[in-house]
Structure 1
Amino acid sequence: MAVPGDRRGGDRPGVCDMKAGIVQMLAALGLLADTSRVGLLLTCDEESGSGTSRSLIEEQARRSGAVLVGEPSTPEGHLKVARKGGSVYRLTAHGRAAHAGVEPHRGVNATVEAAHQVLALAALGGASGAGAPAGTTVTPTLLAAGTTTNTVPESASLAVDVRAWTRAELDRVDAAIRALAPRTPGATLSVDGGVNRYPMSPDVALPLLELAQAAAKDLGLTPPDGVPAPGASDANFTAALGVPTLDGLGGVGGGAHARGEYVDVGLMPDRTALLAALIERLLAEPVPGPGR
């Protein structure tokens, strides 16, 4: 047996997010007697914000009675009934170049300004943000500045990842980021980006979870629980349209995006059977969505 994160093989390879889910979806379709009313959509840009695929996802969701998402379950095998929404920003500090050794006082150091903004951004999330509920995260990520080691940087760019459980929180952080003011005399700021996807609410998922639990019982499997997930997925888009959406129907594993990522291959047949049984139930008796 390979240990978690061992990509050499065994029954826990690092293909949880989300090659295992694709395999299970294809295998589940092979178990159905009739797939004429079932669609399968695979996209390749979800990790970068679904910039090119979002319109296609929403188009197909609007013509669907339900959406089942093959993202990984939790390591405990729970399905995902709610998700945080997310925003992505690029904050650029604009300064003025000068010789760092001869006359640094003639420059406006964009790196120093970026440092001020990193601290200001970090204060917007979690318990340190004014009025921010637990779980709101504002995370500075990619940072780039300067041209040469002896030049005062005239530009610095900073990527920012924001996650929150409510629309109001995403909107609050959005307004705060756009209101950031420069701290370094002579520096200016510009902001690109914004809210990428709003949160997935449990009300679109719970009726499907009940169906999945009933299907599991019929198969002699332990009914999966439904839990909120801090990460976002394309389920956020379909849920926002009011289409019944259940996420986490892919592989059971963990460590996504890390060197220790793994999936439990031994559970893939059961999860494939569960997905097929859930589809069969939906074909027989569609679930109405909220307000539909």
Structure 2
Amino acid sequence: MSSPVIAALHRYTHVESPTGDSRALAALAEMLEADAAAAGFHTAREPHPTGDHLIWTLRARDVAGAPLLFLSHYDTVWPVGTLAGMPWTVDGDAIRGPGVYDTKAGIAALLAAVAAVDGPHPELRVIVVADEEIGSPTATGLVRAEARRASAVLGMEPPHPGGDLKTGRRGSTRARIEVTGVEAHAALDPDAGANAIDELVDQLLRVRELGAGRPVLVNTGTIAGGGRTNVVAGQAHADLGLRFADPEDERVVLGELAALRPVRSRATVGTRLLSHRPTWQPDAAGDDLLARIAAIAAGIGQTLGGHPADGAADTNTTGALGRPTVDGLAPHGGGAHARTEWVSASGIAERTMLLTAVITGLHRTAPRC
């Protein structure tokens, strides 16, 4: 089974691109920019030490108005070297390899769709983020600014199983609790110290209660602190992952987290957000955009639905802004972040066809003022 878009995905997969590995990301960025330029895009970058964000623009052709914004990312959760034990394979309709589903197939399908466009279309803007897998801490400002000037936002993350699109997402926040204590000799003068690790443990017991009675997920992901067993620990921290289904729960719980105060008089406690994706709830603008895309899909013989998702992505930011947003336009497959990751070869062809139709047809269905 071979096609230009699958050949492109093969090339992208073999350039491993874990989040934060600036050298690996730079190698894939050069490849993606070359392919984007070949598809007709003007390419630019927003540089960052941990990986540049890619900004592609295709000028409008006979369609006035605000641009159509596509969001994707080229970082993966897989470290360099994963290919050795998780190689590219094609077994019937299933293509396997690190990052094929989340979300290099989406990039390949989008570039193939743009290259196939033949007809009027609005300006296209594409943001390909370098740190999406850790919450886009350096990209969120760029995503927000681009969304504010877009007519609609189309997320190129994987869809629901079977291919349905995503019309909302749980809020997702990574937060760090940081504790400073007072160091002292643990045997000779322990009372002169204030143990930061003990303080952190007490704070984490409080954190367990933050979401009590609310549909909030709170996960303590990492803990670090101290240095020696004969020294009262002077520093400790814990990183939390929080998920929210409702903006009010999000507001309350993050407020309580920020209000944590030390149990020990000589300890200090602080919290800060490492990344924050606000809750994106379904709204009329998103429902209308989904209906328009579903109508375009029906016109080319595809059946498409949509509903909210549990996972978070950059579309949290745009949907929470109230911009018309739909996500999940990458090809279907499964096993995101797992060694069973796969993407459907026939799904790649279907999504490429759909994206081409959306690019040239969505402006015809826009509501008239």
Q: TM-score, length-normalised on structure 2?
A: 0.69
Distance in 2 between residues matched to 1:124 and 1:76, nearest whole Å: 36
SS of the residue 1:177 aligns to: helix
Correspondence 1:96 to 2:176: no
Instruction: Between the two structures, name the one with larger relative contact order (CA 8 Å, sep ≥ 6).
Output: 1
Which residue matches 2:334? 254
Residue 84 of structure 1, aligned match among 145, 167, 170: 170
Residue 22 of structure 1, aligned match among 95, 102, 107: 107
SS of the residue 2:95 aligns to: coil
Question: Does structure 1 conserve the Cα–Cα contact (< 8 Å) formed by 2:183 and 2:234?
Answer: yes
> Structure 2 matches for 1:211-222, cutoff 5 A?
211-221=292-302
Kindly state the Cα deviation for residue 9 of structure 1 after the two structures are TM-superposed. Answer: 1.4
SS of the residue 2:204 aligns to: helix
Question: Does structure 2 conserve the Cα–Cα contact (< 8 Å) formed by 1:166 and 1:198?
Answer: no
Question: Does structure 2 conserve the Cα–Cα contact (< 8 Å) formed by 1:211 and 1:281?
Answer: no
Correspondence 1:144 to 2:224: yes
Kindly state the Cα deviation for residue 36 of structure 1 after the two structures are TM-superposed. Answer: 5.6
Distance in 2 between residues matched to 1:27 and 1:269, nearest whole Å: 9
Distance in 1 between residues matched to 2:354 and 2:208, nearest whole Å: 42
Question: Does structure 2 conserve the Cα–Cα contact (< 8 Å) formed by 1:122 and 1:140?
Answer: no
Question: Does structure 2 conserve the Cα–Cα contact (< 8 Å) formed by 1:73 and 1:251?
Answer: yes
Contiguous gaps of at least 5 residues in structure 2: 2-84
Show CA shifts across 1:201-221 (max 9, x none).
Answer: 211321122122222222222
Question: Does structure 2 conserve the Cα–Cα contact (< 8 Å) formed by 1:83 and 1:201?
Answer: yes
Correspondence 1:226 to 2:306: yes
Assess, with a 3 A threshold, how the Cα gap between structure 1 residues 262 and 114 changes in structure 2: closer, same or farther. farther
Kindly state the Cα deviation for residue 115 of structure 1 after the two structures are TM-superposed. Answer: 1.6
Which residue matches 2:29? none
Distance in 1 between residues matched to 2:355 and 2:152, nearest whole Å: 13
> Structure 2 matches for 1:241-280, cutoff 5 A?
241-280=321-360
Question: Does structure 1 conserve the Cα–Cα contact (< 8 Å) formed by 2:292 and 2:365?
Answer: no
Which residue matches 2:279? 199
Correspondence 1:40 to 2:121: no
- The list of structure 1 runs, each at least 4 consecutive aligned residues, that deviate by more than 4 angstroms after superposition, is none
Give the share of equivalent positions with the same residue, in percent. Answer: 36
Assess, with a 3 A threshold, how the Cα gap between structure 1 residues 186 and 37 changes in structure 2: closer, same or farther. closer
Distance in 1 between residues matched to 2:139 and 2:208, nearest whole Å: 31
Correspondence 1:72 to 2:155: no
Contiguous gaps of at least 5 residues in structure 1: none
Kindly state the Cα deviation for residue 189 of structure 1 after the two structures are TM-superposed. Answer: 0.9
Assess, with a 3 A threshold, how the Cα gap between structure 1 residues 159 and 287 changes in structure 2: closer, same or farther. farther
Residue 290 of structure 2, aligned match among 209, 212, 215: 209
Question: Does structure 1 conserve the Cα–Cα contact (< 8 Å) formed by 2:122 and 2:363?
Answer: no
Distance in 1 between residues matched to 2:320 and 2:328, nearest whole Å: 17
Show CA shifts across 1:186-239 (max 9, x none).
Answer: 432112228723222211321122122222222222x22212112221112222
SS of the residue 1:39 aligns to: strand
Distance in 1 between residues matched to 2:274 and 2:226, nearest whole Å: 25
Q: Which has the higher strand share?
A: 2
Which residue matches 1:169? 249
Which residue matches 2:73? none
Which residue matches 1:180? 260
Show CA shifts across 1:97-146 (max 9, x none).
Answer: 12234443433221122122222213223xxx14x1x3x11222221101
Question: Does structure 1 conserve the Cα–Cα contact (< 8 Å) formed by 2:293 and 2:362?
Answer: no
Kindly state the Cα deviation for residue 277 of structure 1 after the two structures are TM-superposed. Answer: 1.7
Question: Does structure 2 conserve the Cα–Cα contact (< 8 Å) formed by 1:87 and 1:162?
Answer: yes
Distance in 2 between residues matched to 1:124 and 1:247, nearest whole Å: 30
Which residue matches 1:57? 143
Letter of the 2:295 counterpart: A
Report the number of matched residues.
279
Residue 154 of structure 1, aligned match among 234, 239, 250: 234
Show CA shifts across 1:29-72 (max 9, x none).
Answer: 12211456222221212233333333332332222211111011
Kindly state the Cα deviation for residue 83 of structure 1 after the two structures are TM-superposed. Answer: 0.7
Question: Does structure 2 conserve the Cα–Cα contact (< 8 Å) formed by 1:93 and 1:188?
Answer: yes
Q: TM-score, length-normalised on structure 1?
A: 0.86
Distance in 1 between residues matched to 2:159 and 2:86, nearest whole Å: 20
Assess, with a 3 A threshold, how the Cα gap between structure 1 residues 226 and 186 changes in structure 2: closer, same or farther. same
